[in-house]
Amino acid sequence: MDKSIHSTKYKTVLQNLLKARHEFGLMQVEVAEKLKKPQSFVSKIERGERRLDVIELEAFAKLYKKSVDWFLIKK
């Protein structure tokens, strides 16, 4: 079994995270400022280098005005 960070479902979450940021018209640095995190935090998550936990996903969802479920569905 593949590690969940490399699974198709996890890749869907990351793709949707990037899509939401683009739809919202924000740069990584702007997202980081709003989440009170360094820009590298956003970059590493979007590239799959850092694991995204459910609490962090909830923060992104709130920022992008999306439900957590929105990130789980392949678009």
| The predicted structure's pLDDT at residue 6 | 74
Residues whose CB falls within 8 Å of the CB of residue 26, separated by 6 or more in sequence, listed in order: 34
Rounded to an integer, what distance in angstroms lies between the CA atom of residue 56 and that of residue 44? 13
Rounded to an integer, what distance in angstroms lies between the CA atom of residue 59 and that of residue 1? 29
| The predicted structure's pLDDT at residue 62 | 98
Q: Which fold has domain 4-69?
A: 434 Repressor (Amino-terminal Domain) (1.10.260)
| The predicted structure's pLDDT at residue 3 | 59
Rounded to an integer, what distance in angstroms lies between the CA atom of residue 34 and that of residue 69? 21
Sorted by where each begins, the domain ranges of the chain are 4-69
Q: Tens-of-pLDDT digits for all 75 residues of the chain?
A: 455 667 899 999 999 999 999 999 999 999 999 999 999 999 999 999 999 999 999 999 999 999 999 999 987
The tokens describing 31, both together, are 């997202």
